[in-house]
Amino acid sequence: MEEGDLAAGKSTAAERGAWSVFEDEAGQSMTPPRARTWGRIGQTPVVRVRARGSGRVSMAGMACYKPDERSRLIYAIREYRGRKDESKGFGRRDFRDLIVRARIQLGGPIVLVWDNLRLHLTAGMKAFIDANAEWLTVFHLPTYAPDLNPLEGIWSLVKREIGNLAAADLTQITRAVKRRLKRIQYRSQLVDGCLASTGLCLD
């Protein structure tokens, strides 16, 4: 990997025989992202959407890499429908559970690389990390450096799929997101490509 903390993360993963795991979050509202498509010359295709209704689909993902192992994608999805007392996104416990699930699925120690989101830096999360130092080591990406996180490529692939989706409700968006993430899960070369696009390597 690059210099600094990421280089330290690479060395730590190699020494411990651990998985290098990058984590990130993204979301999609009822307003679809812009996307490119085919159309007649001089006639720009227009997809009309209602763009009404509250709600958001939140995604948290982990791109997992280890030399001589198939790359993995582990993710969680949460819907927010604007109801009273409903969580708008992922909380500290959700991140904790995702990390534990990754450890179970990967079957080994983890070197986790993520950004400086406020929830990543809470006292509760730090206590969880310290309590599981036997199998969990955490490094933080530099501030404002999304280009170093392979998950940005994953989110790009997901949003490309739903760019021309005129969703009638939040359930339709959630279904499309799950379908795309499931396809990426079974195509490890896409997960590898997202790492390559960052300019980082694990060798």
Q: Which residue has the higher pLDDT, 140 or 39?
A: 140
Residue 72's pLDDT is 96
User: Which of 28-32, 80-84, 189-193 shows the highest mean pLDDT?
Assistant: 189-193
Of all residues in the chain, the percent with pLDDT exceeding 90 is 55
Residue 98 makes CB contacts below 8 A (sequence gap 6+) with 23, 60, 62, 74, 76
pLDDT tens, residue by residue, 98-116: 999 999 999 999 999 999 9
| Count of all residues that appear for the chain in the document | 203
pLDDT at position 28, please?
81
Measured between alpha carbons, how far is 111 from 77 in angstroms, rounded to an integer? Answer: 22
The pLDDT, as a whole number, for residue 84 is: 76
pLDDT tens digits for 17-69? 899 999 999 988 766 666 666 678 887 766 665 555 568 889 999 999 999 99
| pLDDT reported for residue 1 | 47
> Is 13 a residue whose pLDDT tops 90?
no
State the sign of the Cα–Cα–Cα–Cα dihedral 185, 186, 190, 191. Answer: positive
29 vs 70: which has the higher pLDDT: 70
CA dihedral 4, 195, 130, 91 (to 10 degrees): 120
